[in-house]
């Protein structure tokens, strides 16, 4: 497996997932999830999963949050709206941030949500420190020996890093995982233990880990069971081949979760 993807490869992957302003994941998730669970996210998490992460990280109206790899800022707007916290979001893909800025404006969240295009590891927020650094489905793109020290450095004392990410549960690579990782520009696949030790080694304490693989399995199954609800719109916007490729990958992902090789973790740790 490749060691990591370059920012250029990651941008190119996400641009391929867009047709104009429409995102393929957004079409799928908006059609398949119950209305209250779709909040504009492009990661395999529900609104409840994101709410649980925020609760565990102690986010409230006084918090300054940095959302790394914020995507189209669905989660950032959700947290600001629900909890009244300030959120700074950063994402590599200019088209994501362009779309997100319009959403912030139309939701009248300009006072709470600020957005920036760029590579988080280029340390664009150098002047500020945050109470919480959140990452929802974005850590798969980061080398953990770089992102963990980055988070430590950019948190206030007592601040929390909080993320939801895929983990490898079994060392036996079914091939599906390699394909999934490479085709979705996410070659970073850690385990519960490697994230735990990585966080500890870099000075984090009170490491909390929740295994949310059951929710991930249910999410993926819901996507597969709802194909009839989104197939036509995806084919219209992206063509038959891209639709087929995405479903093949989703099936491979489902098999990898169901056979115990792939899981999802919720992680919170304190500086």
Considering the rule CB under 6 A, would residue 46 count as an interface residue with ligand SAM? no
Nearer to ligand SAM, 116 or 218 (CB): 116
Nearer to ligand SAM, 137 or 198 (CB): 137
Considering the rule CB under 6 A, would residue 264 count as an interface residue with ligand SAM? no
Least distance CB 49 / ligand SAM (angstroms): 10
Considering the rule CB under 6 A, would residue 47 count as an interface residue with ligand SAM? no
**φ, ψ at 212 (rounded to 5°):** -110, 30
Considering the rule CB under 6 A, would residue 93 count as an interface residue with ligand SAM? yes
Nearer to ligand SAM, 172 or 268 (CB): 268
Report the run of H or E that residue 166 belongs to, with start and end.
strand 155-168
Nearer to ligand SAM, 135 or 198 (CB): 135
Least distance CB 214 / ligand SAM (angstroms): 19
Considering the rule CB under 6 A, would residue 120 count as an interface residue with ligand SAM? yes
CA atoms within 13 A on the CB side of 234: 26
Applying the rule CB under 6 A, the residues between 165 and 224 that interact with ligand SAM are: none
Cα–Cα nearest to 13, from 245, 252, 263: 245
Strands 86-91 and 64-68: parallel
Q: Which residues, 6+ apart, have CB-to-CB distance to 76 below 8 Å?
A: 65, 67, 70, 87, 89, 100, 113, 115
Report the run of H or E that residue 53 belongs to, with start and end.
helix 47-56
Neighbouring CB atoms inside 10 A of 232's CB total: 10
Which one among 137, 159, 198, 265 touches ligand SAM, defined by CB under 6 A? 137
Region of 55-63, 84-92, 203-211, 249-257 interacting with ligand SAM (CB under 6 A): 84-92
Considering the rule CB under 6 A, would residue 69 count as an interface residue with ligand SAM? yes
> What x-and-dash track marks residues 141-160 binding ligand SAM by CB under 6 A?
x-------------------
Cα–Cα nearest to 13, from 160, 183, 142: 183
Report the run of H or E that residue 180 belongs to, with start and end.
helix 176-183
Q: Which residues, 6+ apart, have CB-to-CB distance to 188 below 8 Å?
A: 4, 139, 140, 141, 142, 143, 144
Which one among 90, 115, 167, 252 touches ligand SAM, defined by CB under 6 A? 90
CA distance linking residue 5 with residue 193, whole number of Å: 23
Region of 35-43, 58-66, 151-159, 257-265 interacting with ligand SAM (CB under 6 A): 35-43
Least distance CB 120 / ligand SAM (angstroms): 4
Considering the rule CB under 6 A, would residue 51 count as an interface residue with ligand SAM? no
Are residues 196 and 229 in contact, defined by beta-carbon separation less than 8 angstroms? no
Applying the rule CB under 6 A, the residues between 5 and 34 that interact with ligand SAM are: 7, 10, 14
Chain residues that interact with ligand SAM, rule: CB under 6 A? 7, 10, 14, 41-43, 69-71, 74-75, 90-93, 96, 119-121, 136-138, 141
């Amino acid at each position: 497996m490749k060691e990591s993807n370059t920012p250029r490869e990651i941008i190119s992957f996400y641009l391929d997932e867009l047709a104009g302003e429409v995102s393929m994941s957004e079409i799928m998730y908006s059609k398949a999830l119950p209305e209250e669970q779709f909040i504009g996210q492009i990661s395999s998490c529900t609104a409840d999963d994101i709410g649980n992460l925020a609760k565990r990280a102690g986010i409230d109206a006084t918090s300054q949050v940095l959302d790394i790899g914020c995507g189209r800022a669905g989660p950032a707007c959700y947290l600001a709206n629900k909890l009244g916290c300030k959120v700074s979001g950063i994402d590599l893909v200019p088209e994501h941030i362009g779309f997100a800025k319009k959403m912030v404006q139309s939701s009248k969240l300009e006072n709470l949500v600020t957005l920036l295009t760029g590579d988080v590891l280029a340390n664009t927020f150098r002047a500020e420190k945050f109470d919480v650094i959140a990452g929802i489905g974005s850590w798969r793109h980061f080398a953990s020996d770089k992102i963990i020290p980055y988070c430590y450095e950019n948190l206030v004392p007592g601040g929390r890093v909080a993320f939801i990410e895929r983990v490898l549960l079994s060392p036996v690579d079914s091939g599906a995982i390699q394909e999934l990782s490479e085709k979705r520009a996410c070659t970073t696949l850690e385990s519960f233990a490697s994230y735990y030790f990585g966080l500890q080694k870099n000075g984090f304490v009170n490491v909390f880990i929740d295994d949310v693989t059951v929710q991930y399995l249910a999410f993926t199954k819901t996507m597969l069971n709802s194909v009839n609800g989104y197939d036509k719109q995806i084919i219209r916007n992206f063509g038959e081949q891209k639709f087929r490729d995405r479903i093949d990958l989703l099936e491979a992902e489902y098999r990898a979760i169901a056979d115990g090789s792939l899981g999802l973790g919720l992680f919170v740790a304190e500086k």
